[in-house]
Chains A and B, each alone.
Chain A
Amino acid sequence: MTDILTVSNLVKRYKDVTAVNGVSFSVPEGICFGLLGPNGAGKTTTVEMLEGIIKPTAGTIAYFGAIANRDSKSAIGIQFQNTSLQDYLTVRETLELFRSFYRVTMPLEQLVQLCALDAFLDRDNRKLSGGQRQRLLLALALVNDPKILFLDEPTTGLDPQARRNFWDLVKDIKKENKTIMLTTHYMDEAQELCDEIAVMDQGRIIEQGTPMALLKHHFNGVLLQLPAHDCGALPAELEFHQVDSQLEHATSDLDGALQRLLAAGTSLEGLKIRSPNLEDLFLKLTGHRLRD
């Protein structure tokens, strides 16, 4: 696979903050690459530099091996986190407006079908529900039939059903052989959609790889959870750390761990056993809660 996007030593400094501090990564063609991190980690600043919206203080961005320029814009599609649409236009008119900006465009019928816009094609932009709006914004990002699609926190504020629907659309789009660059602070979303992730915190990438490989590398086995209160005595030889109201222990030897708990007289009433997920990984890496 060739790399569609290569970023090296990207820096963005504002007056008194360094929002992005030396970020490097590359994205192979055809995958969904997730840029994860808490609010304020520098994700949006990073992607906006990639999109050509803001200028980097230092570093280079290359599409297909060539340094990004004005023409790169016709190869990328962007769904912004917060965008207003022009008032008083219908969904169809908005799509036609954006289609007229590009030389190469995806046919209207294909956009409508791909983003499930059929039911509200002639509705005023202002009267769309949250989910419908996000689908229209997705369609606008696809209007120029881009090779690479940027989705910046696309499901923030959507209800669970609308989020699942949106994920299905993104999976369909991936099948069209598009590369997707997803920014999110929802770990379930990343786990659902991403082939490869990079975790950002305080302007830097602190870990990068496929979700499976990263989980394997940072956790062996499963997570044991006990309620922090009324679990009785804990065996001294097992290391627990507290996450909210839960005590957590990671182990590759579940039988052994359970025997030790029983032997110590720990109450197993509230015991939970589960596989670690990206959220656990993130907490381990950054040491603070995600959505604070």
Chain B
Amino acid sequence: MINGRRLLAIFKARNIEFFRDKSALTWNLAFPVLILIGFSFIFGGEQRAEYKVGVLGGDSSALAALPFHDTRFVDFVDYDQAPEAERKLQQHRLDLLIDPAARQYWVNEESPKSYLAEQLLLGGSQDFQRTPMTGRPIRYVDWVVPGIIGMNMMFSCLFGVGYVIVRYRKNGVLKRLKATPVTAMEFVSAQVLSRLLIVLVFSAVIYIGCDFLLDFYMAGSWRDLLLIATLGAFSLISLGLLVASRSQSEELTGGLLNFASWPMMFLSGVWFSLEGAPHWVQQMAQTLPLTHLIDGARAIMSDGAGLADISYQITMLVGMSALFLVLAAFLFKWHPD
């Protein structure tokens, strides 16, 4: 069904076309870089005014008995799992972690706020056992980087495949190819592979380039991050294929692609977390491939999650890709009859 030589030839031709289009190329690189650098400046000085203290053990009476508990502007948050709370302390998302019943506390020695919170605790009770920890803070820019790069991947995948195929269909490139022995499968596979390569190379270049400037927080494995990026890009490309499967109107396709990309811009957690959003919004976000790409990438980068921890996201991305591809293959037309 697929002839490798023909597929490779179309793959190569598409890559050449992309890399010779200098203005689009520059924009593809500059857009996410500018956003990331802008964000690191805008949100670089942000500090929470109050102190946030994690509480282990779930014993509220032991906590209430502490003089520390009556300090104003300290926010106490309960945690069931020690590792999760410890990571947050390391990332400066908690200033102190205490277990009132066990008379134990953890402090991040690299955080000035952690030092001050420790002084507040020890001012009231001296019988706590100290466990020092270290860890650099996780900044907004660290949190937002999977979102920005994911968003850039989304636009590149949707428009780079969907729009291009519709343009080819409209101006007769597809018709010319149909008159050759090239099969639809070969053509579509070449487009998918070309875009996958372009998107991954670009995302890697953007990430590495910005990492050099901004030094991102990366707790997990590079291999896992590449895997989730590949799966995410693949599912977004499949969605692009589906949108472009038979239309020959660039205007209509542009509209449909915007219709697909704008909800993802806002509901997939690119810019802000949806934790506090209404339940139905969160449910809706689960139907968007970008949500799973960003959630997966964030879990790897911020929490050091492994593949088992993000198996839900992986399953969703694989499932969505399969669904989009089957539908696109079913609907695909070279040209309007």
Residues of A within 8 A of B (CB): 51-55, 70, 73-74, 78, 80, 82-89, 93, 96-98, 100-102, 140, 144
Contacts and interface: CB of A to CB of B under 8 A. Distances in A.
A83 B173 contact: yes
A53 B334 CA distance: 9
Contacts of B17: 86-89
Nearest to A14: B337
A73 B173 contact: no
Nearest to A73: B181
25 contacts: A51-B179, A52-B179, A53-B175, A53-B179, A55-B337, A73-B181, A78-B179, A80-B172, A83-B171, A83-B172, A83-B173, A83-B175, A84-B168, A85-B173, A85-B176, A86-B14, A87-B21, A88-B20, A89-B13, A93-B13, A97-B10, A97-B13, A100-B9, A102-B180, A102-B181
A104 to B, nearest CB: 11
A86 B173 CA distance: 7
Interface in B171-225: 171-173, 175-176, 178-182
Given A97-B9, A102-B180, A80 B16 contact: no
Given A80-B172, A83-B176, A88-B21, 7 more contacts: A73-B179, A78-B176, A84-B168, A96-B9, A97-B13, A101-B182, A102-B180
A144 B182 CA distance: 13
A82 B10 CA distance: 21
B181 A84 contact: no
Contacts, number: 66
B48 interface: no
Contacts of B14: 86
Given A83-B176, A84-B172, A74 B13 contact: no
Contacts of B181: 70, 73-74, 101-102
A53 B5 CA distance: 23
Contacts of A86: 13-14, 17, 168, 173
Mostly, the A contact residues are: loop
A76 B89 CA distance: 71
> Which of A73, A89, A100, A144 has the largest count of B CB atoms less than 10 A from its CB?
A100
A93 B16 contact: yes
A101 to B, nearest CB: 4
A53 B180 contact: no
Contacts of A140: 176
B93 interface: no
A97 B21 CA distance: 19
Contacts of B168: 84, 86
B180 A82 contact: no
> Which of B12, B171, B175 has the largest count of A CB atoms less than 10 A from its CB?
B175
Contacts of A54: 337
Contact of A100 (B6, B20, B175, B176): B6
A80 B5 contact: no
Nearest to A140: B176
Please provide the 7 A-B residue pairs with the shortest distance between their CB atoms, ordered closest to farther.
A84-B171, A100-B9, A88-B20, A83-B172, A101-B180, A88-B17, A78-B179
Interface in B1-42: 5-6, 8-10, 12-14, 16-17, 20-21
